[in-house]
Amino acid sequence: MNQDLSILHLVLNASIVVQLVMLLLVSISVASWAAIFRKLFALKKVKSLNEGFERDFWSGNSLNDLFLAATKNGRDGGPMERIFASGMREYQKLRERRISDTGTLLDGARRAMRASYQREMDSVESQLSFLATVGSVSPYVGLFGTVWGIMHAFTGLAALTQVTLATVAPGIAEALVATAIGLFAAIPAVVAYNRFARDIDRVANGLETFIEEFSNILQRNVGASQSPSGL
């Protein structure tokens, strides 16, 4: 009964298939944690940039000054700033063509902002599908390792004339380690996915609200006689 049942001993003495399953799950877990930290910092940056641009937008600066700053920032700006730049750019192009119809101007700007919004959301939502896959698949991969390990253990016991708990326990224990590693990989991924999904919904709602508010501002100014640079 004085058998070494430490995790390291169980892993090293597991069958090759179970060891491969464990290695796969550990690799997935490492990749999952890397994705979690990248997404955590990325969403924090998106929130900070959006809040900064929103303060500038409502601080009384002219639309032309904001547009010049957004054009200069380019990809260094936040999603909200890039959406604003897309709408303003399309609006100015239509005004340069001397289009004065309110519906045409607003529809053009709104379509440009919606297209930019979809691109930004695709970027913000990146790696979420990976976390969802890890959270849903890892337990089953671990379960496969456990089933295989138990099957392997009982196959080895078939040649014994007397089976005791001492002979059964090591094989079952090493098989259950695979399930434990699978859960270790899945649980953080599921928690992170739910957290990020909620944060991304807030980002999406903020961007959609901004599109509506900016559209209202353009509508109020579309009848003005001055050029867009005078807004």
Give per-residue pLDDT as tens, 157-176. Answer: 666 566 555 566 666 777 78
Inside any domain, residue 144: yes
Instruction: Give the start-end residues of each E strand in the chain.
Output: none
Residue range(s) defining the domain that contains residue 164: 7-230
Q: State the Cα–Cα distance between residues 176 and 198, nearest whole angstrom.
A: 33
Q: Is residue 1 part of a domain?
A: no
Query: Token pair 């090759």 is at which residue?
Result: 16
Kindly give, in sequence order, each residue whose CB lies less than 8 Å from that of residue 101, ignoring residues fewer than 6 positions away. Answer: none
Number of domains composing the chain: 1
In a domain, 88, yes or no: yes
Q: What is the pLDDT along the chain (231 residues), one digit of tens a residue?
A: 445 556 666 667 667 888 888 899 999 999 999 999 999 999 999 999 999 999 999 988 888 899 999 988 888 889 999 999 999 999 888 888 877 777 888 899 999 999 999 999 999 998 899 999 999 999 999 998 888 888 877 776 666 566 555 566 666 777 788 888 899 999 999 999 999 999 999 999 999 999 999 998 888 877 554 444 444
Provide the pLDDT for residue 85.
93
Task: Answer yes or no: are the C-beta atoms of 86 and 111 closer than 8 Å.
Answer: no
pLDDT digits (tens, 9 = 90+) for 48-71: 999 999 999 998 888 889 999 998
List of residues 6+ apart from 90 with CB closer than 8 A = 108, 109, 111, 112
Query: Which whole-number Å values give the CA distances from 153 to 164, 176, 183, 204, in the listed order?
Result: 13, 12, 22, 52
Question: Is 64 contained in some domain?
Answer: yes
Tell me whether residue 190 is in a domain.
yes
The answer to whether residues 89 and 67 touch, using CB atoms and an 8 Å cutoff, is yes
User: What is the phi/psi pair of residue 115, to 5°?
Assistant: -65, -45
